[in-house]
A and B are shown apart, each in its own frame.
Chain A
Amino acid sequence: MEPDPSSELSAILTEVDRFVVGAIEPAVARPESPIGREAFAALLAEARAFGVVAGADTGGAGLWEEPGAPTRSVRVLTRVARANAGVALAVHLESLAQWLTRRLRLRVAGVGIAAVQGRFGLGRGALARLVTGAALDEADTRMLVDTYGDRPRLLTAPHHFEWLVVPRFDGGSSVRFLVLDRASLVVDEHPHAHGLDELATFSFALRSGAEPVHAIDVASGASLFAEALGLASVGLLAVALGAAEHAHELARGYARTRRQGGKIIDRHAAVQQLLASSRAAIETVRAQLESASRTAISDAALPRILALRAEGHPLLCRGANDALQVFGGLGYMRDTGVEKLVRDLVHLRTTCGSPPELALVVAEWERANG
């Protein structure tokens, strides 16, 4: 008899819940004091051992390892992000690196991170023309070489990464993938980035004279790149959804106990509007994300996913801001935790294509496809 997929998913989520409650939540309990580097690396190692992070030993249970639609991964990632967006993003990027290297038929030891965004976003409309196989003109080529060429790129990731897998465009009509050992990179940390305090924002470039560990040309490089971007984008939105859900829960909890104007504040229309707006943002994105994750993430799915991100991230930012507003002055204080969620959401919104750029890619995709 075939196992019931919904009960299987439910069992996995229960297990993930155990890990979240037992390991992640205690480690990130103080939002004003981000978890230290060593403790974070240890937490990720625990996640790897638990099987959340994709890898050789998970038997297919890790993130982005399920065949077909990534329903399970999206749900798992959202659940982890509800506890901490930084942990969830690290799990996502590490699993994506595993997914990508598996597709490239590589085995790379150590902690890898997929860094799929370009120097500045994604390469605007030229990206759409590249991945749809449309003819690239000189301006497109210049844009893609500038975006995915030699120049330093930005990355928000855990400190402890050992290698990166990155897309590379040198002209033509395809994309290569490079695996770069950390020792071969010039890595500059930019301290005090906006959100995701557990992680660091780096710029990186290949050291002069250094060579990639692997430089892989595949016949369908552009298509594989589109798939990787699709998974990266679904993951980013899943992380954002979890963070927004957390902000909403915090606001609801506070609104149930705080008394102003002679009554508990969740009975005031002003607060109800904020909570409803936050809830509406979450429900809208969740419904869209669940729907998108019910089919396999192919290159053809990319415009839908990017459109979803273009609308979804601003919605979730608005929802989390509404949640913060419920707290009044308390929401502005770091130990309350909700301001960090707002920052995390803004950080995710600008990563891997900000909403206006994503909209451009979608429009160009439609144009390129007639």
Chain B
Amino acid sequence: MVSPPRDALDGHVPPASPLSPRTAYERLSPVTRRLVSHAPEDEWEHDTRGLPAPLARHRRHVRAFAERHLVPRALAADLAPHPAPGETSPENLALLREAGRFGLLSDLLPKPLGSMPPQLLRFPLFLPQVLRTEELARADGGLMLLLSASNLGVAPLVLSGDLGVIRRVLWPAFRESARGEPHVFAFAITEPSAGSDVEEGHGASLHRPGTVARRSAGGWSLRGRKCYISGGDIAKSVLVFAALEGEGMESWTAFLVRRGAPGFRVARTELKMGMRASGAAELELDDVHVADADVVGGLRAGWALNRATLNMSRIPVAAMGVGLARAALEEATAFACTYELAGRPLVDYQDVQLALAQMMAETTAARSMTWRAASRPQARQDEAAAAKFHATDVARRVCEMAMDLLGNHAVLHAERVEKALRDVRLTQIFEGTNQINHLAVIEEQQERLLAAVARGPRE
């Protein structure tokens, strides 16, 4: 039954009241009204209209895709049976095809090489990525990761600056995706004995590499294991980072391994807490031959490519947090407006209003920090890492507040909030745990801090 329209929430005067900002502001002079405004529109619309036109278009475009292709599938994808290693569900494959045609698998490069609209070229690369990632995450964490992890594998190829690699590897792959034959890339750094050690310099300096490349005829032979590789189960191309035989982590090199290469195997995929629509794979490399031409960025350039890729991808991970917080906030808001208790919608209760306002503020603050980091033409490690750990910590808090707001209904899968909480938990872990990201801030500031130390101890 539809409730009759209400003119005010409990504890508030109606907008038509002379005491409300909407009506009171009408008495102000037109000049003054340029300084203060009553803005009842939703924040997303407000923010989008404030963006430059190409970015606003991009945001609307991705949102429409996410609404159409991700939202209806989100709950079912979360519950789908765990596929055998290396297999993809027909539904996920269909989504990847759609996403490829839409351009989501190739948008790190502009047209005609990739799918990024040329109008977006005048903005920092990270801004469109952040907008896109938030929209996809807001629709569904797992499907977002299914469609976004590929860019992590593409990034080292782009960052290599090798036009030959871009022409020979990326261009054909992007064309495949655009034809509806998804070509997914994956980024393989983590090893069973090395999580944080492959994400920060100090740990790496003490780590004995587990995946090693040995010189062989016309190329290199890779041996080792990589684990928790997002999208590694479906990738056609995997960027495998390995040390050269007999050398340390300084020799890390990025090798392009094709799915189906002899000796390459998806050994297992993990059962995860959330983000279940996207596979986390363990990859086995048993003397996999990689031709010299498939060494990306040159020998011993892998560490730089790895660090640069992580610093690029931390900003979109912050956006994932924002998107998941927004999902929880939107679900909580919808619940509060439609669930009635004692004949009143929950939103009538002051404590519920306080919680919603807090969640809105936290989400907006996290987004502001993320957009600030994304607005730099170059990714700065300290800003990227700080945005990542702050936004994802805030996002978990917002999801927990949403759970509290829904009370005993929060545990129901159909309400979607519990799923956002499960999904958001991963964002505090990947691209370096949030603890490693704290240290990344200090690493970036090290020279400044050392200079202060050099001024001597205080009296």
Which residues of A are interface residues toward B (Cβ below 8 A)? 32, 117, 119-121, 124, 126, 139, 142-143, 146-147, 154, 156, 190-195, 201, 259-262, 270-271, 274, 314, 317, 321, 324-325, 328-335, 339, 342-343, 346-347, 349-357, 360
Contact = CB atoms under 8 A, between A and B. Distances in A.
Nearest to A329: B228
B407 A346 contact: no
21 contacts: A120-B408, A154-B408, A156-B411, A192-B79, A194-B422, A260-B194, A260-B195, A317-B400, A321-B425, A328-B195, A328-B196, A329-B280, A329-B429, A332-B270, A332-B429, A333-B280, A343-B273, A346-B418, A350-B406, A350-B407, A354-B410
A335 B193 CA distance: 18
Most buried by B among A119, A194, A201: A194
A136 to B, nearest CB: 12
Most buried by B among A119, A124, A192, A332: A332
Interface in B175-214: 190, 193-197, 200, 202-203, 205-207
Contact of B351 (A120, A347, A360): A360
Chain B, interface SS category: helix
Nearest to A33: B271
Most buried by B among A260, A274, A333: A260
A328 B203 contact: no
Given A325-B433, A328-B196, A335-B271, A193 B411 contact: yes
A329 B342 contact: no
Given A191-B413, A332-B425, A333-B272, A354 B403 contact: yes
Contact of B404 (A194, A325, A350): A350
Given A121-B408, A350-B408, A356-B404, A333 B271 contact: yes
Nearest to A324: B425
A117 B408 contact: yes
A194 to B, nearest CB: 4
Nearest to B428: A325
Interface stretch (B89-97, B120-128, B366-374, B434-442): B434-442
B272 to A, nearest CB: 6
A82 B280 CA distance: 29
B187 to A, nearest CB: 14
Contacts of A352: 408
Interface in B273-313: 273-274, 280
Nearest to A261: B203
Given A124-B349, A194-B411, 13 more contacts: A119-B341, A120-B407, A192-B78, A270-B439, A321-B425, A325-B433, A329-B429, A332-B270, A346-B403, A350-B403, A354-B405, A354-B410, A356-B351
Contact of B196 (A261, A343, A347): A261
Given A193-B413, A201-B412, A260-B194, A146 B272 contact: no
B272 A334 contact: yes
A317 B413 CA distance: 19
A143 B193 CA distance: 56
A117 B342 CA distance: 16
A321 B399 CA distance: 13
A353 B407 contact: yes
A143 B340 CA distance: 10
Interface string B333-365: 000000101110000010100010000000000
A47 B5 CA distance: 54
Contact of A260 (B78, B197, B407, B412): B197
B403 A349 contact: yes
B411 A195 contact: yes
B206 A143 contact: no
A333 B228 CA distance: 10
Nearest to B417: A194
Contacts of B433: 325, 328
B396 interface: yes
Contacts of B404: 349-350, 354-356
Given A146-B343, A354-B407, A190 B412 contact: yes
Interface of B: 78-79, 190, 193-197, 200, 202-203, 205-207, 227-228, 270-274, 280, 339, 341-343, 349, 351, 355, 396, 400, 403-414, 418, 421-422, 425-426, 428-430, 433-436, 438-439
Contacts of B435: 270-271, 274, 325
Contacts of A351: 408, 411
A142 B274 CA distance: 39
Given A190-B414, A270-B438, A350-B403, A146 B342 contact: yes
Contacts of A353: 407
A265 to B, nearest CB: 8
Contacts of A360: 351
B410 A194 contact: yes
Nearest to B275: A332
A334 B407 contact: no
Nearest to A346: B403
Given A329-B190, A329-B228, A332-B425, A357 B407 contact: yes
B418 A194 contact: yes
Contacts of A332: 270, 272-274, 425-426, 429
Most buried by A among B355, B407, B421: B407
Nearest to B190: A329
A201 B411 contact: yes
A329 B195 contact: yes
Contacts of B273: 332-334, 339, 342-343
Contacts of A154: 408-409, 412
B429 A346 contact: no
A343 B355 CA distance: 22
Contact of B411 (A32, A262, A314, A347): A347
Contacts of A347: 411
A346 B397 CA distance: 12
A156 to B, nearest CB: 7
Contact of A333 (B190, B270, B355): B270
Contacts of A194: 410-413, 418, 421-422
A123 to B, nearest CB: 9
B272 A121 contact: no
A361 to B, nearest CB: 11
A84 to B, nearest CB: 18
Contacts of A139: 342
Contacts of B412: 154, 190, 193-194, 201
A350 B400 CA distance: 10
A335 B282 CA distance: 15
Contacts of B436: 270
A347 B407 CA distance: 10
A143 B341 contact: yes
Given A192-B413, A262-B203, A325 B408 contact: no
Most buried by A among B273, B343, B414, B438: B273
A193 B414 CA distance: 9
A171 to B, nearest CB: 13
A259 B270 CA distance: 22
A142 B197 contact: no
A350 B429 contact: no
Contacts of B410: 194, 350, 354
A167 to B, nearest CB: 15
* 8 interchain residue pairs of minimum CB distance: A262-B206, A270-B435, A339-B273, A194-B418, A143-B342, A192-B413, A194-B411, A261-B203
B279 to A, nearest CB: 12
B444 to A, nearest CB: 17
